[in-house]
Amino acid sequence: MFRQQTIRTAKIGRGYATAAAAAGAGSGPQARAAVPDYALFNARLAQARATVLENRPLTLAQKILYAHLHDVSSMTSAPVAGESYLKLAPDRVAMQDASAQMAILQFMLSGMAQTAVPTSIHCDHLVEAWAGGDADVARSWQTSREIYEFLQAAARKYGIAFWRPGSGIIHQLVLENYAAPGTLMLGTDSHTPNGGGLGMLAIGVGGADAVDAMAAIPWELKAPRVMGVRLRGALAPWASPKDVILAVAGQLTVRGGTGYVVEYFGDGVGSLSCTGMATICNMGAEVGATTSLFPYGAPMARYLRATQRGAIADAADAQHALLAADAEVAADPARYYDEVVDVDLAALEPAYNGPFTPDLRTPRSQMAGAVARQAWPDRVSAALIGSCTNSSYQDLSRAASLARQAAARGLRVAAGTELLVSPGSEQIRATMQRDGIQAAFEAVGARVLANACGPCIGQWKRDAAPQGPNTIVSSFNRNFRARNDGNADTLNFLASPDMVMAAALSGRLSFDPAHDTLRAADGAEFRLAPPAGAELPAAGYAAGRAEYQPLLAHEPAAAVPIAPTSTRLQPLAAFAPWHGREFAGNRVLVTVQGKCTTDHISAAGKWLKYKGHLENLARNTLIGAANAALDGRVNHVRNAVAGLEPREGAIPDVARAYKAAGVPWLVVADYNYGEGSAREHAAMQPRFLGCTMVVARSFARIHETNLKKQGVLPLVLARPEEDYAVFADAPHELVVATEGVEGLCAERPVVHLLVDRVRDGAVVARHRIECRHTMSADQIAWFKAGSALNLIASQQQQKERAD
């Protein structure tokens, strides 16, 4: 990207969606969201309805999108879902500390004096779970002080709200402070859709997308299809909102929501709490959805008022027509939604999803049989409650009710089982301490961790971690192999906090709390009563400790330090622009077999400390990828070029050898390549090492966009079965050129790969393979410039010269 330099910046205004700022928005960083400018949203939507939309009925997701069009007057026809690109004006940006580093490094070179929209940084990813609570936060300051001081200084300089480590997890803090019905937010984390629980269209993106919004550049999104999920009835006592999304994931799979916004509707919606809706939206990322959301209603109003945002609730109460799908849609959903899924809440039973993928669902009543058939380890070595998905007051109060039942019988967590609890925010921690919830957990042997992500993202210093296969159960949202503790043989089953607590008390994955019994301290058998919890705390939320309130300073003259000897922060160098010719002489670094998430492409865990240092982080590129040519062997490839070392070895080592020798290379991938987190490093690292193209059977949405942002050409095989097989056979023999890159245009989405198989210097076979691209005109401009940031910087420089 760009080397650090001294740049002249221009002052700009901030507000909701356009220069017409919302009431009270102001120009400085915000502790809480201002009341949205619903008059502006309605005006934009009315303009779109009266022109290109021809007054057709709209879903809620469509209303919010069209109310945030950057320039309605520039549109000449109605957007076509799955084809047209929308240029949008987001209201807000939120970033977590791991992804914020690269986003800030890019924004520093955009030429802006402050962010164009309200923005916040949340320090939650770099806190490692170990001793618990405050001790882990204090230790994070020792291990990551350089990063925290960099982010805090950048926040002060550019007018960004800074939430220090220990304040909470980004998505819980956004829900408590910044989410507002009908608004559009970008977040540099794939679980940003958590905000949909408050009627917000909250979308996970890479850092380069966030920089667009922060730099007042219209943000581009392919017009999504809308999937309606109709909820009927109410949940049974043992079932929870987590079980709703576990069921939806089991039905749709990890690819089923790709290209869709998932919109919930039906008579069952009102039976759910606001935080329960957030849980469902949060884990919508696991089906590949662009985002998920619920219509505004009474549960959201109650939550807004409980979190000191009564003015937003009052304003939203007057906007029911805007904040719900049109009446025609509700009356005939099959006509207006692109797909409709039905969920009978009353019939839903608790479930576990896993292991190793969040869409493998086993209903609670079938778990004992599945454990026996699959030979899954039945003993639960660790039970983990919390994460951004399930750390609300309602979640924790329900789980605590089960803990109290056990403690009353003299029972603690099972021998050999560790119970860890992660509160979602300082507000939640303080409230659960005040209301006896923390004491209930500790009475059965739980350890309360810091208000941070911790084990959910691999930040878990697991003492005496089991070697070999072992089972953990968690209320997390993601369970890819080796994600939580670095052990590829740890089986993580996702469940509600209620089921996690039941597993902790019994010590068994096969335990069914609705039918099985526990043994009390006196030897008597007893069965747990269903969990009981409060939607909101009766005494209101406790404020928590003052030191965990956000820092709101704005000092444009502040310096942002990067030590030249740092191993964790590195100024960015610009990627080279496209050379203007067809690609030629590309070697296939690896043909990836099966699931390849962004965790596989750019691992987290111990690598999180390098998120601001691209050169160091690139040493983990694709280390989790399985090689289709070597029977699925992980992180091992053959060198395609004679004379280069190593002849075969770890994927990043061979990639570095290609880069040093000036050999361009590509990756060939399987279905849904890049699913999982929003980390743009999974695109930046291959680009840094010389990758020109990624050719896949299909892509996950965020990762495909991230590749485009960094100047890598993503291509989809037109014949995914037949042509993938070409690359799976001895890919080190293949030399790849392109046909169609020179004339790349949005109207002609075809590029051919000219693939030669070379043995002993002779071409023994040739293939002409058709691929498709999804590049818009703007995205092609990014590609030609070398990256989206290259283009932004060039445009900013032109603007400054004109001024």
Q: Say yes or no to pLDDT of 624 above 80.
A: yes
CB count in 10 Å sphere of residue 312: 25
* Higher pLDDT, residue 228 or 794: 228
Decide if 16 is inside a domain: no
Query: Roughly how many angstroms between the first and final C-alpha of the chain, as a whole number?
Result: 25
Q: How far apart are CA 502 and CA 444, in angstroms?
A: 12
pLDDT of res. 1: 33
> What is the rounded (10 degree) CA torsion for 8, 12, 14, 17?
-110
Decide if 732 is inside a domain: yes
Nearest to 394 by CA among 282, 277, 276, 535: 535
Distances from the Cα of 727 to the Cα of 438, 583, 646, 695, angstroms: 54, 17, 21, 10
pLDDT of res. 10: 29
Dihedral-angle region of residue 278 (phi above 0 means left; psi in -120 to 50 means alpha; beta otherwise): alpha
Among the listed residues 144, 677, 698, 787, the single catalytic one is: 677
CATH assignment of the domain containing 761:
3.20.19.10
Nearest to 793 by CA among 578, 560, 572: 572
Q: Give the model confidence (pLDDT) of 474-485 as tens digits.
A: 999 999 888 898
Handedness of CA 106, 112, 117, 119 (dihedral sign): positive
Distances from the Cα of 768 to the Cα of 237, 310, 742, angstroms: 59, 62, 17
| Residues linked to residue 738 through DSSP beta bridges, in sequence order | 753
Residues 271 and 383 occupy one common structural domain: no
Q: Helix, strand or coil for residue 801?
A: helix
Residues 465 and 604 occupy one common structural domain: no
The count of C-alpha atoms lying within 13 angstroms of the C-alpha of 272, restricted to the half-sphere facing its C-beta, is 31
Residues 166 and 95 occupy one common structural domain: yes
Q: Say yes or no to pLDDT of 389 above 80.
A: yes
Give the pLDDT band (50/70/90) at residue 21: very low
Residues 401 and 429 occupy one common structural domain: yes
Q: How far apart are CA 609 and CA 621, in angstroms?
A: 15
| Residues linked to residue 787 through DSSP beta bridges, in sequence order | none
Handedness of CA 320, 321, 322, 327 (dihedral sign): positive
Token pair, residue 402, equals 């089960």
Handedness of CA 625, 194, 61, 85 (dihedral sign): negative
Range of lowest pLDDT (199-203, 597-601, 638-642, 770-774): 638-642
Last residue of a domain, one of 301, 321, 346: 346
| Angle, alpha carbons 418-370-501 (nearest 5°) | 30
Q: Give the model confidence (pLDDT) of 709-733 as tens digits.
A: 999 999 999 999 999 999 999 999 9
pLDDT of res. 803: 67
pLDDT of res. 601: 97
Q: How far apart are CA 462 and CA 478, in angstroms?
A: 18
Residues 195 and 128 occupy one common structural domain: yes
Among the listed residues 97, 124, 212, 485, the single catalytic one is: 124
Q: How far apart are CA 744 and CA 276, in angstroms?
A: 45
Q: Helix, strand or coil for residue 307?
A: coil
Number of domains in the chain: 3
Decide if 342 is inside a domain: yes
| Angle, alpha carbons 674-675-681 (nearest 5°) | 45
* Helices vs strands, H then E, count in the chain: 25, 31
CATH assignment of the domain containing 434:
3.30.499.10
124 an active-site residue? yes
Location of structure tokens 């520093």: 108
Nearest to 213 by CA among 192, 197, 227: 192
Among the listed residues 679, 687, 703, 732, the single catalytic one is: 679
Last residue of a domain, one of 480, 501, 526: 526
Q: How far apart are CA 485 and CA 462, in angstroms?
A: 7
Mean pLDDT of 559-564: 92
Residues 140 and 216 occupy one common structural domain: yes
Q: Say yes or no to pLDDT of 19 above 60.
A: no
Location of structure tokens 């080190």: 732
Decide if 136 is inside a domain: yes
Among the listed residues 230, 361, 364, 478, the single catalytic one is: 478
Token pair, residue 252, equals 């749709």
**To which H or E segment does residue 120 belong?**
strand 119-122
478 an active-site residue? yes
Residues 158 and 297 occupy one common structural domain: yes
DSSP letters of 724-746?
A: HHHHHS-GGGEEEEEESSTT-BT
Q: Give the model confidence (pLDDT) of 505-536 as tens digits.
A: 999 999 999 999 999 999 999 999 999 999 99
Q: Give the model confidence (pLDDT) of 669-679 as tens digits.
A: 999 999 987 78
Q: Say yes or no to pLDDT of 3 above 60.
A: no
Q: Give the model confidence (pLDDT) of 194-253 as tens digits.
A: 999 999 999 999 888 999 999 888 999 999 999 999 999 999 999 999 999 999 999 999
DSSP state of 194: G
**To which H or E segment does residue 122 belong?**
strand 119-122
Q: How far apart are CA 138 and CA 82, in angstroms?
A: 47
Token pair, residue 427, equals 């507000």
Strand (E) positions, 310-429?
339-344, 351-353, 361-363, 380-386, 418-422
Range of lowest pLDDT (108-117, 162-171, 429-438, 713-722): 108-117
Give the pLDDT band (50/70/90) at residue 27: low
Mean pLDDT of 685-707: 95
Looking at residue 233, its amino acid is G
Mean pLDDT of 684-707: 95
DSSP letters of 488-554?
A: TTEEEEE--HHHHHHHHHH-BTT--TTT--EE-TTS-EE-PPPP---SS-TT------GGGSPB---
Residues 102 and 151 occupy one common structural domain: yes
Decide if 3 is inside a domain: no
Last residue of a domain, one of 526, 549, 569: 526
Q: Helix, strand or coil for residue 767?
A: strand
Residue 507: φ, ψ to 5°: 75, 10
Range of the domain at 108: 38-346
Q: Say yes or no to pLDDT of 6 above 70.
A: no
**Mean pLDDT computed over every residue of the chain:** 93
Q: How far apart are CA 732 and CA 712, in angstroms?
A: 21
Nearest to 401 by CA among 235, 393, 476, 416: 393
Location of structure tokens 């951004």: 388
Give the pLDDT band (50/70/90) at residue 604: confident
Decide if 122 is inside a domain: yes
Q: Give the model confidence (pLDDT) of 42-84 as tens digits.
A: 999 999 999 999 999 999 999 999 999 999 888 888 999 998 9
73 an active-site residue? no
In a 10 Å sphere around its CB, with 0-12 CB exposed, 13-18 middle and 19+ buried, how is residue 46 labelled?
A: middle
Give the pLDDT band (50/70/90) at residue 802: confident
Mean pLDDT of 272-301: 97
CB count in 10 Å sphere of residue 54: 10
Residues 44 and 115 occupy one common structural domain: yes
Residues 439 and 472 occupy one common structural domain: yes
Among the listed residues 37, 189, 359, 498, the single catalytic one is: 189
Mean pLDDT of 774-795: 91
Residues 362 and 298 occupy one common structural domain: no
Q: How far apart are CA 683 and CA 595, in angstroms?
A: 17
Q: Helix, strand or coil for residue 414?
A: coil
Token pair, residue 571, equals 């100024």
679 an active-site residue? yes
Decide if 379 is inside a domain: yes
Residues 327 and 423 occupy one common structural domain: no
Give the pLDDT band (50/70/90) at residue 18: very low
189 an active-site residue? yes
Token pair, residue 779, equals 């995205």
Looking at residue 93, its amino acid is V
pLDDT of res. 795: 79
pLDDT of res. 325: 98
Decide if 24 is inside a domain: no
- Cβ density class 465-503: b for 16+ within 10 Å, e for less: ebeeebbbbbbbbbbbbbbbbebeebbbbbbbbbbbbbb
Among the listed residues 14, 44, 125, 508, the single catalytic one is: 125
Q: How far apart are CA 800 and CA 639, in angstroms?
A: 47
Range of lowest pLDDT (26-35, 256-265, 345-354): 26-35
Contact 556, 114 (CB under 8 A): yes
Nearest to 116 by CA among 10, 222, 8, 3: 10
How are beta strands 734-739 and 750-759 bridged, if at all? Answer: antiparallel
Mean pLDDT of 101-110: 88
